[in-house]
Structure 1
Amino acid sequence: MKTLQQLLDNKKHKTVISIAPHRPVFDALVVLAEYKIGALVVLDGDKLVGVFSERDYAREIILKGKSSKTTPISEVMSSNVLTVKPNDTVEQAMNIMSDKHIRHLPVLEGNKVIGMLSIGDLVKETIEYQQTLIKQLESYITG
């Protein structure tokens, strides 16, 4: 199975899309819509301080009647962020996401965020891997 670095190398968007914690939630929503993604890493300078997702917006802004134009991201982001390393495998990341019921994982090299992977990225890779294995087994069986 591939490493997370290999997955990041094959992604269309190579740059990490992030936002600062002091920015209003509305700004994050604009970025999410512009890039058609479901979550952003929240960086204070180069330091990972959280993840903001559509789920955070729904639960912390809409359901609580807060304003997305005046509420800073730091008030509603997930700050207890699980991360993975570039040399971790797709399987390891899938296990973390499944066990912890999360949809996005920042990839850190040392203390630097080098990418963000979604459950969709991992599922796509897993399906491709399984299809390759099936073809190899069929080829072996048929000789």
Structure 2
Amino acid sequence: MITVQQILEHKGHQVWTIDADASVLDAIGEMATHDIGALVVMEGADVVGLISERQYARGVALLGRSSRDTRVRDIMRTDIPRVALGTDSDACIALITEYRTRHLPVMTDRELVGLISIGDLVAAIIREQQITIDDLTRYIATG
């Protein structure tokens, strides 16, 4: 079973964050700049939430609010699960399904060390399955 640590070794540990008091316009700008769909929301060194394009659409655009005047803290999602480096892919998928989220912050104690998405998980599972297929193919060919 593949672990979060193995996924991060493949994709990297880069995490884009934003302060809870930043404007939603700034958050959307950061997401566009980095071509990502979500930012981890911080207060100092503490992870306090997640803001995604979904929160923007539902918390600003659909309500006719101004993204310039709305703070990230006003629309961020706070009920996000966090995972550790040793968490396996099955547990991550279960959390993503249960919480209906697409991103999981990776923590060591209280420190943010990465972010994995459902896309990262799918890619890792596909890589793991391909290794198994290749191993079985070699076994049959030499058998």
The normalised TM-score by structure 2 is 0.94
Matched to 2:78, the amino acid is S
Matched to 1:8, the amino acid is L
Q: Could you report, residue by residue, the CA deviation over 1:112-139 in whole angstroms, capped at 9, with x for unpaired residues?
A: 1111111000100111111111111222
1:57 correspondence with 2:56:
yes
Mapped to 2, the partners of 1:40 and 1:90 lie a distance apart of 21
Structure 2 unaligned residues grouped into runs of 5+: none
How many residues are paired up?
Answer: 142
The normalised TM-score by structure 1 is 0.94
Determine the structure 1 residue equivalent to 2:5.
Answer: 5
Identity %, equivalent residues: 38
Structure 1 unaligned residues grouped into runs of 5+: none
Q: How far apart are 1:101 and its partner, in Å? A: 1.9
Q: Could you report, residue by residue, the CA deviation over 1:68-103 in whole angstroms, capped at 9, with x for unpaired residues?
A: 001000000001121101111122112211232210
Determine the structure 1 residue equivalent to 2:114.
Answer: 115
Determine the structure 2 residue equivalent to 1:24.
Answer: 23
Determine the structure 1 residue equivalent to 2:127.
Answer: 128
Contact kept in structure 1, 2:80 and 2:101, CA below 8 Å: no
Determine the structure 2 residue equivalent to 1:35.
Answer: 34
Matched to 1:139, the amino acid is R
Q: CA RMSD in A?
A: 1.2
SS in 2 for 1:19: strand
